Structure 1
């Protein structure tokens, strides 16, 4: 009996049994007639072309050959048996494939085995394929596992970076925050003010000091003092805008940066509301705490401030002028008499 060297089996071929085996070993193969008509398509190709039955169609009607070029007939394709073929589907998504054609004996047509090559990832995504759609020994499976592992590693890395970034931002925010009141601290205030001065924008700096706060601490204890500071912070938030900076820069000292506002009338109104709000009795346990606030205001750049220290000194001088006037009031630095030489 004649043995076909290409297939290693005796002719005639029992196709029902052989194709069942080939469907497992080569799940992307086709069997063609001598005229190039498709008479069998393996399971993966059937899945890829579920909306268009391949059986009965001509191979060159389904696929466009890129290499070798200039092949337009089945006889020309048969003549290039065993050569590597480069092709793509003629219909969307025009997936690129690699293949090899082997002629069958006694005019029984040909087998064409196909693969995705390096475009396997795109093919899997386009056709929603799984490992079950490939031969168990196909290197594409290993490649898919590597791609999946890389994707998982990248996703884990991205999530880790997000957590690290979140932790970094949280740490930076914590380092810039007064833990008792939740306001900015002195370091954050200095940084923000220095940046505002460098930007040469118009703003006002209010330096606020609590009156009679020491008496609260001495007579009612530090817990009462902490409670008072927290209530004062609430008043400051309520009487300023969201974009204004409020910072606790000392035990009972605060700074407020009123951004883009240099009108004395408006600043006087803000200061008056702050003083009025802070003067309200603050309940603590079964007692009340009574304090007030003195405020000094320096306006940038009207006072000619050249640096952070000068700006803070001007607001501090205005603050102590308010203390000297009897407390619970606000003073502008540029209303002070020029210092004598």
Structure 2
């Protein structure tokens, strides 16, 4: 309907008959009546269609409707059961609910019947709530409606409103996407693609608030400064990206892996509170990071020291306490010769 509505106003339609004739009982020419009531029917006293507006003819495309019984063209659905002309005439002046038979069956129309002085009757119809459907199905134009009928203006408003709402939904979708992307970027380390300290602190705070069991592992790279000093920052960045891949490969979906400083990383591991599993995880990571890392024609050699703190379910310590305990274990690992993992259990 959208494409069709663009050409409605001023669109060509069937030229009404010349005004010299008069509709008996009305004193109007068929052309004037067609302009005033384009969806009208003139019936004989027996209910035979003697005249029809141009819009009414569009409901029955390709049919010769003049001379046919009105009740053969339309099904009267109310008020009450109407099966013959006598019942229809008895409801003159009442609001009628009709549906056409044939190709346009299912369209819901409203109408009112009024007697003419000649013994015939005039039925004026409208599409009511089915106007939008009728416009699309019957290819109606502005000229198919009475000049005082605001149906087309309302359809334009509906279409414009639909278009605006569509644009607003699309704008809202883009804004939500941009907001989510901004939030994601605000919590992501741009070099490694890991979470950053802000995201890690938020994750840790939530676990502490929920009194969930988890372990917190601090990871510090050994000999990283020597790589930077000898090969430059490009080599250092290459190493950091390699470390991020190693940590991500060992992490589970629910874990939070973050870069929280220059060569400092952190893993928050919900539900993982068995010391032996944590030590095995740490030793596996250290072993992988101890292999030389190729960079251009050089080899970068680093290691890692790791300290972890275990928090049992229901404890809910302050996040700073968990961080401090893990830090203590990290420095103990470094003091013990580096390239090792040490841990503790928070008791309160």
Q: TM-score, normalised by structure 1?
A: 0.80
Q: Does 1:215 align with 2:226?
A: yes
Q: RCO greater where, 1 or 2, for CA within 8 Å and sep 6 or more?
A: 2
How far 1:306 sits from its partner (Å)?
1.4
Q: What does the per-residue CA deviation read over 1:65-120, in whole Å, with 9 as the maximum and x for residues that have no partner?
A: 23xx6877534644665x3624143989865533233444534x333221133553
Q: Secondary structure at the residue paired with 2:253?
A: coil
- Matching of residue 286 in structure 1 with residue 297 in structure 2: yes
Which residue pairs with 1:63 in the alignment?
76
Alpha-carbon distance between aligned partners in 1 of 2:235 and 2:175, rounded to the nearest angstrom: 38
Q: C-alpha offsets along residues 124-166 of structure 1, whole Å, 9 cap, x if unaligned?
A: 57x4755468337442111110000000000000000000000
Q: Secondary structure at the match of 2:345?
A: helix
3-state SS in 2 of match to 1:280: coil
> Is residue 210–residue 294 contact of structure 1 (8 Å, CA) maintained in 2?
yes
Whole-angstrom CA distance in 1 between matches of 2:233 and 2:146: 74
Partner residue in 1 for 2:26:
7
1:241 Cα deviation (Å)?
A: 1.4
What are the equivalent positions in structure 2 for 1:160-171 lying under 5 Å apart? 160-171=171-182
Corresponding residue for residue 112 of structure 2 = 100
Q: Is the 8 A contact 1:37 1:59 kept in 2?
A: no
CA deviation after TM superposition for structure 1 residue 30, in Å: 3.1
Aligned positions of 1:6-85 closer than 5 A:
7-9=26-28, 18=30, 26-38=37-49, 55-56=68-69, 58=71, 62-66=75-79, 74-75=85-86, 77-78=88-89, 81=92, 83=93, 85=95
Q: What value does the CA root-mean-square deviation take over the aligned residues?
A: 3.5
Q: Tell me the equivalent position of 1:154.
A: 165
Matches within 5 A, 1:117-132: 117-118=128-129, 120-121=131-132, 127=137, 130-131=140-141
Distance 1:318 1:239 in 2: 21
CA distance in 1, matches of 2:138, 2:319: 63
Deviates more, 1:70-79 or 1:317-326: 70-79
| Kept after mapping to 2: 8 A contact 1:205/1:257 | yes
Task: Give the alignment of 1:151-300 within 5 angstroms.
Answer: 151-300=162-311
Distance change in 2, residues 1:163/1:61 (3 Å)? closer
Contact kept? 1:297, 1:331, Cα under 8 Å: yes
1:15-42 deviation digits (Å, cap 9, x = unpaired): xxx4x88667645333433233456665
Are the aligned partners of 1:84 and 1:98 in contact in 2 as well (CA < 8 Å)?
no
Residues 98 and 57 (structure 1), Cα distance of their counterparts in 2 relative to 1, 3 Å cut: closer
Q: Which sections of structure 2, spanning at least 5 residues, go unmatched?
A: 1-20
C-alpha contact (below 8 Å) 2:258/2:267 kept by paired residues: yes
TM-score by length of 2: 0.79
Distance change in 2, residues 1:60/1:70 (3 Å) = farther
**C-alpha distance in 2, partners of 1:302/1:327?**
31
Label 1:134 to 1:255 Cα distance change in 2 as closer, same or farther (>3 A): farther
Tell me how many residue pairs correspond in the alignment.
322
**Closer, same or farther in 2 for the Cα pair 1:24/1:239, shift >3 Å?**
farther
More displaced, 94-103 or 186-195?
Answer: 94-103
